[in-house]
Amino acid sequence: MVEKEVMEIIQIFSWVATGTGVCFAAYYYVMTLRNTENTRRKDIISQRLQTPLQFYEAYGEIMWDREITSYETMREKLLHKPKEMARVWYVLNHFNSLGILVQEGLATSQQVFKQYLPQSVIVIYEKFRGEIVNSRYRHAPKLEVWNPDAYMGFEFLYEEAKRLYPMVPQLGGFTREELIEHAREIDELLKAETK
């Protein structure tokens, strides 16, 4: 009789130990999946946030082009010039990809704005908004919405920049004297920091 009770107790402990082992195994499996997902997300973010030199070259060319002041002037200047339009699309698509990462929760807007100045996003979006809107429409046989999601990631990133940095200064339009004065002010700030 005592042996039977001892065997039942041993069997109960065996079940508890088995159940505990299964719980620990499930917990370990879930944690491994989470860590793998986090690592994958970090890899995606670090790969996407690595900005190639081609981006900076294209960005510099389109950002500082003073002839482009509206959608009409952009089309007049760049229409039938595939290399120049490719630069515009490259920059727009780069910012669109970053916006998608933020929208999907794979990166935060703060991570993006640590690498890219918010005014860069704002100025490029506003300068090429006509091209962004145009990409959403089909023109033949009549003007109609064709791809309503075109550049939605970039639009989201732009709205984030405007929301997080409402007082962001505009780029461009400075005179040489204003730039020199600004450089002097920065030099003075740097000197004050080193004291």
Q: Read off the pLDDT of residues 154-186 as tens digits, 9 standing for 90 and up.
A: 999 999 999 998 876 655 555 667 767 777 888
Domain ranges of the chain: 1-49, 51-194
Q: What is the pLDDT of residue 102?
A: 92
SS (H, E, C) the chain: CHHHHHHHHHHHHHHHHHHHHHHHHHHHHHHHHHHHHHHHHHHHHHHHHCCCHHHHHHHHHHHCCCCCCCHHHHHHHHCCCHHHHHHHHHHHHHHHHHHHHHHCCCCCHHHHHHHCCHHHHHHHHHHCHHHHHHCCEECCCCCEECCCCCCHHHHHHHHHHHHHCCCCCCCCCCCHHHHHHHHHHHHHHHHHHHC
pLDDT digit string (tens) for 108-141? Answer: 898 888 888 898 899 899 889 888 888 888 766 6
Residue 54's pLDDT band (boundaries 50, 70, 90)?
confident
**72 pLDDT more than 60:** yes
pTM: 0.66
